[in-house]
Structure 1
Amino acid sequence: MTGWPDRLGRMGVLACAVGGLAVVVAALPWLRGDDPARSVLRARLEDRDPDPAALAAVRSELHLADNPVQGAADWLTDAARGEFGTSWVTGEPVRDLLLTAAGVSTSLAGAASAVAVVVGLALAAPVVWALSGECRSPGRCTRGVRVAGAVVAALSEVALAAALLTLVAVRWRLAPVAGWFGPSYMLLPALALGVPSGGLFARLVGTAADAIAGETWVRTWRAAGCGRITLTVAIVRRAVTAAVPQVAALFMGLLGGAVVVEEMFAVPGLGRLSLHAALAQDLPVLQGCVLTLVLAGTAAGASGIAAQRVLLGPAGAAAALAPAGPARPRRPHRRTPLPVAAVLTAPILAGLLRDPHGVRLERRLSGPSWAYPLGTDPVGRDVLARFGHGAVLTIGTAAAVTAVGLIVGLVVGLRGSAARVGVVDIVNALPFVLVGLVLAAVLGPGLLCAAISAALVACVPIAIHTRSLATEVRASGYHQAAVLAGAGAGWILRRHLLPAVTGPVLAYALTRVPSTALAIAALGFLGLGLGHDTPEWGAELAAAIDYLERAPTLVTAPVLGLVLLGVLAGSAPVELGRRTAL
């Protein structure tokens, strides 16, 4: 039973996190080496000369603090009384802006989460049905959903949104183009956000079902003549138990992190509001967005943990879960990885032998030919050459960032003796663009800024997945037996927790390699990562969106590269996804 000191300690940590974030947001102008009054004046009147008299008038009107700590303290004091101030740029009450944007983002995030769950369960359902029967090779049963889930997860939200806009909205006129004036405006943004997330959800459910199919109760139910439909529903329920915290994290990620999609579809949500406020340095609005997202992230994290405990039921409280026994070693299945690796490697090697920077304006936007197998870009550069050279940046950076995220996620997810809401839920609620803006102010835009931001984005879902798997391990009989026998926390960590969660978490981290590449691409799309002149796939994708109809190969090359990378990530050895009981 959790005591009051523990609860007060966690509340203190959350309060310190909120206060620290408020100080960081308040310090954004100073980090960028700018004067807040000058930023406000530029946002209000672009052609106004920022003379000393005008700057002094702005400082007096807005009561600007002399330092970020004082500014953050003043704002938090007012926020505690329910006063969020007014926008420095528009003069509108911040509370009204937040209520409107939060309603829009909540609706969009809920619809996108529903799309993700439907897509994930649709991909995983055939696998669970096979596992509920007499599937003699669980690894082969789940290989399809692992690969399919990784492919769907590798779809670029930017490219998917652009394709939906170009084809569904503009050419076929089946949905509104942009704005937010009714339920019909929700369809395309929800699809662009939810479909890639559905691939990750399918991978989680499929991997969990593979391990659950070997648990003792499944064999007992099957031997007792339990119907296949009943057994399928039971396996799905157990598999979803491990994925429920991820659904809560997914909702929060979509609530504040849908900046690019909201910008493309002109959706007036929290992500777009926080982006514009950060760019204009409208600190009251930005601080209100951060506080709203932090509170929502804390609530979503607590809801995910509570839902997992409810789904575990009496077995979780009584430590009665019986995990599957150790999987028998099998030879890795190479029929899928080798051809896909060859298809991905061949154009990369061919592109590395070509010049990615040669400009031929007379050949701009030309189609595929013998001289240019993938065509040319808007200034006549060889797309194949840029694809090959960009692969080194994209795949190398994404792999390194995922490795860092895996280590940090394991460490954070295994801390403590039980699942608790913590700083990881707060970080998950923050728009990654805000993190990128703060880092860009300190380090400057570039690969390092994008990589650090993407690492924070990558480690949070890994930590949440680790935390949910560790909760199930702690609900097992052998873990409780070790505790009652007097085993120390370090021994239990080495002998039980790490062997049980490392495999599934590693398989999940591999699936997120393309997603990490897409996060870096999104920062590049917003001008916070590598410049548009670099051949990195995300920068290429951002530059090619405007030419989707005239030169579709410009978009096809980086998207196909990310999809093939997803297939390779989904073809990881089956043993990585199987939990073992020690």
Structure 2
Amino acid sequence: MGPANRKPYLVVGLVLATTLGIVAAVGDRDPLHQDLMLALTPPSLRFPLGTDHLGRDVFARLIHALPRSIGIAMTSMVVAASVGTIIGLTAAASNRLIDAALMRLTDLALAFPGLLLAMVLAGLLGGGAVPVLVGISLAQWPQFARITQSIAATVLTEPHIESSRIAGLAEWRILLRQVMPRILPQTTALATLSLGGAVLTISSLGFLGLGLQPPTPEWGAMITELLPYMDAAPFQIAAPCVALFLTVLSCMAAGQRLAEVR
């Protein structure tokens, strides 16, 4: 691998190291501490991004919101990838009737807007991490089912698969040992690409008041809280917007890179 090919990994490593360093630096700063006497304080050495309308440290809230958003997004991708992969493998390894039924179910789920589904679930269940996670997972699994079924159906027609069956190898062993290694690179790239969309969905729900509930730090909720003070606190409201943009952009870039080298 030449220097040009190593650049993306060096950049990702540098970003991760910087992020961990920042998290460690502000780890002891309370993102929930309020001081109304310091409300809407402009950026300073004490408060690098200023304070919000309740006198809370915007920088501390911004950093503490990162693991929550990424954690929920990653968990939802794991759940969606697991469910979608199981359904896709089942469809590819079954007869035509079951295959067609599972794929029509997948098409039906794909036709339903993911953000709307997450909003409905979060609204019905009162918001919070679990409804958001379930909503994103339900919206994302059809993509994994589709790509898994497509790859598995092709692999299962190859001559070495038939040889394995003749040799008496169980179908589930064939799927695990010979089909899954062909699927994993594709699903990993798709999960990384979808991670940015999941983070954006979490922030969108937070913006609408259907995501993580106050006073929990969350980028979308931070934007909503600071909207009435946009003129007095431009840096404070810009901070979560920029953090969200960079996070989604990084996920998309990483996913694109994985797709290129699969």
- TM-score band w.r.t. shorter chain: 0.7 to 0.9
Report SS of the residue matched to 2:53: coil
Task: Indicate the larger mover: 559-568 or 498-507.
Answer: 559-568
What are the Cα deviations for residues 356-392 of structure 1, in whole angstroms up to 9, with x where unaligned? 1233334333321111101112222110111122223
Residue 544 (structure 1) shift = 3.6
Counterparts in 2 of 1:537 and 1:462: CA distance versus 1, 3 Å = farther
C-alpha distance in structure 1 between counterparts of 2:226 and 2:120, whole Å: 24
2:23–2:63: 8 Å Cα contact kept in structure 1? yes
Equivalent of 1:567, from 239, 250, 254?
250
Q: Which residue of 2 aligns with 1:449?
A: 131
Deviation at 1:529, TM superposition (A): 1.8
Supply the distance in 2 between the matched residues of 1:496 and 1:486 (Cα, whole angstroms): 10
3-state SS of paired residue (2:91)? coil
1:493 to 163, 166, 175: 175
Q: Which residue of 2 aligns with 1:170?
A: none
* 1:426 aligns to 2:108 (yes or no): yes
2:203 aligned with 1:528, yes or no? no
Answering whether residue 52 of structure 2 is matched by residue 377 of structure 1, we say yes
RMSD of equivalent CA atoms: 3.3
Given that residues 344 and 564 in structure 1 are in contact (C-alpha distance below 8 angstroms), is that contact kept between their aligned partners in structure 2? no
Deviations 1:512-558 (A, max 9, x none): 22321221222222222222432022322333445555434334433
Question: Which digits, 9 at most, give the CA deviation of each residue in 1:105-162, with x for residues without a partner?
Answer: xxxxxxxxxxxxxxxxxxxxxxxxxxxxxxx86x92xx88xxxxxxxxxxxxxxxxxx
The one-letter code matched in structure 2 to 1:567 is S
1:481 match: 159
The share of aligned pairs that are identical, in percent, is 30
Q: Structure 1 residues 546 and 459, CA, compared in 2 at 3 Å: closer, same or farther?
A: farther
Pick closer, same or farther for the CA change 1:490–1:434 going to 2, 3 Å: closer
SS at match of 2:71: helix
Change over 3 Å in CA distance of 1:386–1:469 after alignment to 2? same
1:482 maps to a residue whose letter is H
TM-fit CA distance, 1:457: 2.2
Give 1:360's aligned amino acid: D
How many residue pairs get aligned? The number is: 248
2:39 aligned to 356, 364, 385, which one?
364
CA contact (8 A) 1:340 1:567 kept: no
Amino acid at match of 1:372: F
Query: Equivalent of 1:410, from 76, 85, 88?
Result: 85
Higher relative contact order (CA 8 A, sep 6+): 2
For structure 2, the 5+ residue unaligned runs are none
Q: Secondary structure at the residue paired with 1:399?
A: helix
Structure 2 residue 18 is matched with structure 1 residue 355 = no
Change in CA separation of 1:401 and 1:484 when aligned onto 2, cut-off 3 Å: closer
Question: Match for residue 337 of structure 1?
Answer: 12
Distance 1:571 1:439 in 2: 29
- The corresponding residue for 1:437 is 120
Deviations 1:424-445 (A, max 9, x none): 222222244345434643x432
Structure possessing the higher radius of gyration over alpha carbons = 1
Distance 1:439 1:359, change over 3 A: closer
Unaligned runs of 5+ in 1: 1-135, 145-332
Calculate the TM-score normalised by the size of structure 2: 0.77
Measured in 2, the distance between the counterparts of 1:337 and 1:350 equals 20
Separation in structure 1 between the aligned mates of residue 87 and residue 228 of structure 2, nearest angstrom: 41
SS at match of 2:158: helix
Task: Please give the secondary structure, in 2, of the residue aligned with 1:336.
Answer: helix
2:144 is matched with 462
Query: 1:496/1:519 Cα in 2 relative to 1: closer, same or farther (>3 Å)?
Result: same
Q: 1:540 to 1:511 in 2, by over 3 A?
A: same
CA-to-partner distance for each residue in 1:377-428, whole Å, 9 max, x for gaps? 2222110111122223222222222221221121122222377432222222
SS in structure 2 at match of 1:430 = coil
Contact 1:387–1:535 (CA<8 Å) still a contact in 2?
yes
Q: Secondary structure at the match of 2:116?
A: helix
Task: Tell me if structure 2 keeps the 8 A contact 1:351–1:387.
Answer: no
Paired AA for residue 369 in structure 1? S
Distance in 2, Cα, partners of 1:428 & 1:547: 39
Residues 564 and 413 of structure 1: CA distance in aligned 2, closer, same or farther (over 3 Å): same
Cα distance between partner residues in 2 of 1:576 and 1:433? 28
Q: Secondary structure at the match of 1:335?
A: helix
Aligned to 1:4: none
The equivalences for 1:15-414 within 5 A come to 140=5, 334-414=9-89
Contact 1:387 1:537 in 2 (8 A): yes
Corresponding residue SS for 1:527: coil
Q: CA deviation at 1:503?
A: 1.3
Is contact 1:373–1:384 with CA below 8 Å preserved after alignment? yes
SS of the equivalent of 1:554 reads: helix
- Identify if the C-alpha distance between structure 1 residues 438 and 516 changes in structure 2 by more than 3 Å, giving closer, same or farther: closer
Whole-Å separation in 2 of the counterparts to 1:352 and 1:340: 18
